[in-house]
Amino acid sequence: MAARKEISAGGVVYRYVGGELEVQLIQDRYGKVSLAKGKMEPGETVEQTALREIVEETGIEGKIIEHVDMIAYTYQHPEYGTVDKEVHYYLVEALGGEMQPQVEEIKGVAWYTPQEAWDKQVNEGYDNNDIILRKALQSLDIQLG
């Protein structure tokens, strides 16, 4: 039987405050540092999914600057068995909105300097997100220490 396919999308959200770059990270319901993301709904493009999920989870509205990368992995679903999952990540510039964590889905959301964000990702995040955050920061001309 072919594995079920699931597509999610999200983003590395950033903004400039007084000329300083800040990057948004969420704390997921398991207490891990992560990026806002979620499942694609029928009729949506991957880009629409990313922007909708960012608004739903964090309250921040943004615009997509570029595609960062896609992570693919397989997991076991109690009902459907093997699921092939694809998660597309975009670099997203924050345009507005009120930052407000969606408490049903995540524990918190905050802005960090690029170095703080990187340190938190490496120490408290999911390994497969390292490459996403690194590529996004490189796109923003950030060299990590």
| Domain membership flag for residue 13 | yes
Q: Supply the CATH number for residue 32's domain.
A: 3.90.79.10
The beta-strand segments (E) located in 30-145 are: 33-34, 37-39, 60-77, 81-97, 106-112
Instruction: Name the pairing type of β-strands 20-28 and 106-112.
Output: antiparallel
Q: The whole model's pTM is what?
A: 0.92
Number of domains, the chain = 1
Domain containing 45: what range?
4-139
Is residue 60 in some structural domain? yes
What are φ and ψ of residue 128, in 5° steps? -70, -10
Q: Is the dihedral of CA 125, 5, 70, 113 positive or negative?
A: negative
Classify residue 145: in a domain, yes or no.
no
What's the confidence (pLDDT) of residue 1? Answer: 64
Instruction: From first to last of the 145 residues of the chain, give the pLDDT tens digit.
Output: 678 999 999 999 999 999 999 999 999 999 999 999 999 999 999 999 999 999 999 999 999 999 999 999 999 999 989 999 999 999 999 999 999 999 888 999 999 999 999 999 999 999 999 999 999 999 999 987 6
In a domain, 144, yes or no: no
Chain centroid to CA 122: how far? 15
